[in-house]
């Protein structure tokens, strides 16, 4: 199954180019497991979900540690019918398992509990879009049940859910939402915004 | 039908707050037609699609005219089953019409031709997600046919389509894609990134 992400990093600073260039070192441990293509709007990462979310986490943490108000925006996709299979996308942990919804919720929650802490606090909001045939709202409501028990849940908003906490469990929550909900071979998109160092009080 | 958007504006500048505050005047002509709620990650706009896209255009053009590298990121949604109907969302022009796909493509193309020019050049990329039952890839391929004839088409990328040109026809193209494709009463999300003044050569 093809999986990848279009990601963009926005440092709110005059020297945004140098913040981005420094943050790119966060991708270094992941480069062999990814195909990467950049243009002036976004960077395409192609690879398995667990690598995509770990690479985004490390990129964003590196940028946020400068202290600059930074935002990462990403659209993460799996199973898009318009994309060919790619061997680089073989998931280690598997995509949505062939398990009942309550079992997937429990597995996702356990995995978030294992996430390493990075020391960087973030706020995030995301939406999950299971496309094509099937009970898409059941999967979304199941995902929301997982989120509320994840330890990173902040609150529901129109069209999306807010998370907060350390970047480690927050990105783990996103990865679990992406891989456990929606049909096993289905087309699923996760759209996420992650923010750090915002001057706006919550 | 409920329709709205979660939008964020990212000026890549140390004084990003003043760029955002100045750009907010672009929303003034549209405030009576919208419900607006802001937090530290995004601003919710609730209203009919033609107002949502016009308001986003005027906000973004105002920010881009400062010369700062700016990005607008938005998730625009209609027909979400989790949202109550709201009288403020009544579309003037209607959502996806009960017409055959070729007729919707022709109507969308004609409407983009009527869009006023703003004088601000932009680059954009977006994805359209028709959710729930129905032939979602047929609607996406129909939308791509429209885009290729829209005058704003740049190129296809993984998971999304790039547009370029004046902000007037580019935002009109986004509005037509959102309102003409996907089923009439269906749940449709459009995810878009608009960029101006990027130092990266195309």
Q: What is the pLDDT of residues A119-167, one digit of tens each?
A: 999 999 999 998 876 667 788 889 999 999 999 999 999 999 999 999 9
Rounded CA separation B164/A133 (Å) = 33
- Taking contacts as CB-CB distances below 8 angstroms, the residues of chain A near B82 are 137, 140
A195/B10 CB distance under 8 A: no
A158/B4 CB distance under 8 A: yes
Per-residue pLDDT tens over the stretch B51-67:
999 999 999 999 999 99
Q: Tell me the mean pLDDT in the region A168-191.
A: 92
For the cut 70, the answer to whether the pLDDT of residue B72 exceeds it is yes
Rounded CA separation B54/B74 (Å) = 13
Report pLDDT for A73. Answer: 98
* Annotated binding residue A9: yes
Rounded CA separation B202/B187 (Å) = 34
Q: Tell me the mean pLDDT in the region B121-145.
A: 87
For the cut 80, the answer to whether the pLDDT of residue B93 exceeds it is no
**Residue that the structure tokens 């009960």 belong to:** B98
Per-residue pLDDT tens over the stretch B104-132:
999 999 999 999 999 999 999 999 998 87
b or e along B12-22 (b: 16 or more beta carbons within 10 Å of the residue's beta carbon)? bbeebeebbee
Q: Tell me the mean pLDDT in the region B171-186.
A: 90
The ipTM assigned to this model is 0.92
Q: Which range among A110-114, B48-52, B71-75, B80-84 shows the weakest confidence by mean pLDDT? A: B80-84
The helix or strand, by DSSP H or E, that contains position B77, with its residue range, turns out to be strand B70-78
- Taking contacts as CB-CB distances below 8 angstroms, the residues of chain B near A160 are 6, 75
For the cut 60, the answer to whether the pLDDT of residue B201 exceeds it is no
DSSP letter for B187, please.
E
Report pLDDT for A89. Answer: 74
Mean pLDDT of chain B: 91
For the cut 60, the answer to whether the pLDDT of residue B24 exceeds it is yes
Q: Which range among A22-31, B19-28, B127-136 shows the weakest confidence by mean pLDDT? A: B127-136
Domains and their CATH numbers in chain A: 3-196 (3.30.70.930)
How far are the Cα atoms of A63, B20, B38, B40 from residue A202, in angstroms, in the given order?
21, 18, 10, 6
Rounded CA separation A25/A7 (Å) = 15
Report pLDDT for B192. Answer: 98
Mean pLDDT of chain A: 91
Report pLDDT for B40. Answer: 94
A123/B44 CB distance under 8 A: no
A12/B11 CB distance under 8 A: yes
**Percent of chain A scoring above 70 in pLDDT:** 91
Q: What is the signed CA dihedral for B34, B43, B76, B14, rounded to 10 degrees?
A: 130
Report pLDDT for A40. Answer: 94
Q: Which range among A85-99, A147-161, B32-46, B178-192 shows the weakest confidence by mean pLDDT? A: A85-99
Sequence-ordered list of residues with C-beta below 8 angstroms from that of A23, at least 6 positions apart, any chain: A9, A59, A60, A62, A63
**Residue that the structure tokens 């940028």 belong to:** A63
Report pLDDT for A93. Answer: 55
Write out the two tokens for B190.
């459009």
- Taking contacts as CB-CB distances below 8 angstroms, the residues of chain A near B42 are 125, 157, 193
Write out the two tokens for B33.
């037609």
Report pLDDT for A26. Answer: 96
b or e along B59-94 (b: 16 or more beta carbons within 10 Å of the residue's beta carbon)? bbbbbbbbebbbbbbbbbbbbbeebeeeebbeeeee
**Percent of chain B scoring above 70 in pLDDT:** 91
Nearest by CB to B136, from A75, A131, A140: name it: A131
Mutate which of A9, A12, A20, A83 to disrupt the B interface (most B C-beta within 10 Å)? A12
Nearest by CB to A189, from B83, B129, B193: name it: B129
* Annotated binding residue B101: no
Sequence-ordered list of residues with C-beta below 8 angstroms from that of A121, at least 6 positions apart, any chain: A164, A165, A166, A167, A196
Comparison of pLDDT for B47 and A88, the residue scoring more: B47
For the cut 70, the answer to whether the pLDDT of residue A176 exceeds it is yes
For the cut 60, the answer to whether the pLDDT of residue A92 exceeds it is no
Report pLDDT for B136. Answer: 72
Q: Which range among A37-46, A97-106, A132-141, A181-190 shows the weakest confidence by mean pLDDT? A: A132-141
**Percent of chain B scoring above 90 in pLDDT:** 77
Helices and strands (H and E) in chain B: how many: 5, 8
- Taking contacts as CB-CB distances below 8 angstroms, the residues of chain B near A200 are 39-40
A130/B125 CB distance under 8 A: no
Q: Tell me the mean pLDDT in the region A158-178.
A: 97
For the cut 70, the answer to whether the pLDDT of residue A96 exceeds it is no
Comparison of pLDDT for A116 and A88, the residue scoring more: A116
- Closest-CA distance of chain B to residue A93, Å: 23
A129/B10 CB distance under 8 A: no
Q: Are B30 and B58 within 8 A, CB to CB?
A: yes
- Taking contacts as CB-CB distances below 8 angstroms, the residues of chain A near B137 are 81-82, 132
Nearest to A42 by CA among B160, B166, B56: B160
Find, in chain A, the residue whose alpha carbon is nearest to that of B78.
A159
- Closest-CA distance of chain B to residue A21, Å: 13
Beta bridge partners of B121: B166
């Amino acid at each position: 199954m093809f999986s990848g992400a279009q990601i963009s990093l926005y440092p709110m600073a005059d020297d945004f180019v140098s913040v981005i260039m420094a943050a790119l070192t966060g991708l270094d441990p992941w480069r062999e497991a990814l195909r990467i293509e950049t243009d002036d709007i976004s960077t395409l990462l192609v690879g398995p979900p667990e690598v995509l979310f770990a690479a985004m986490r490390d990129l964003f943490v590196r940028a946020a540690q400068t202290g600059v108000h930074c935002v990462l925006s990403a659209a993460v996709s799996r199973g898009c019918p318009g994309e060919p299979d790619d061997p680089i996308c073989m998931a280690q942990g598997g995509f949505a398992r062939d398990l009942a919804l309550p079992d997937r919720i429990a597995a996702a929650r356990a995995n978030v509990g294992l996430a390493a802490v990075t020391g960087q606090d973030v706020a995030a909001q995301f939406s999950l879009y299971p496309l094509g045939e099937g009970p898409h709202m059941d999967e979304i409501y199941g995902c929301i049940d997982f989120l509320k028990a994840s330890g990173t849940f902040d609150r529901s908003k129109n069209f999306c859910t807010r998370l907060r906490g350390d970047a480690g469990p927050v990105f783990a929550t996103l990865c679990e939402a992406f891989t456990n909900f929606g049909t096993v071979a289905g087309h699923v998109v996760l759209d996420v915004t992650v923010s750090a160092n915002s001057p706006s009080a919550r």
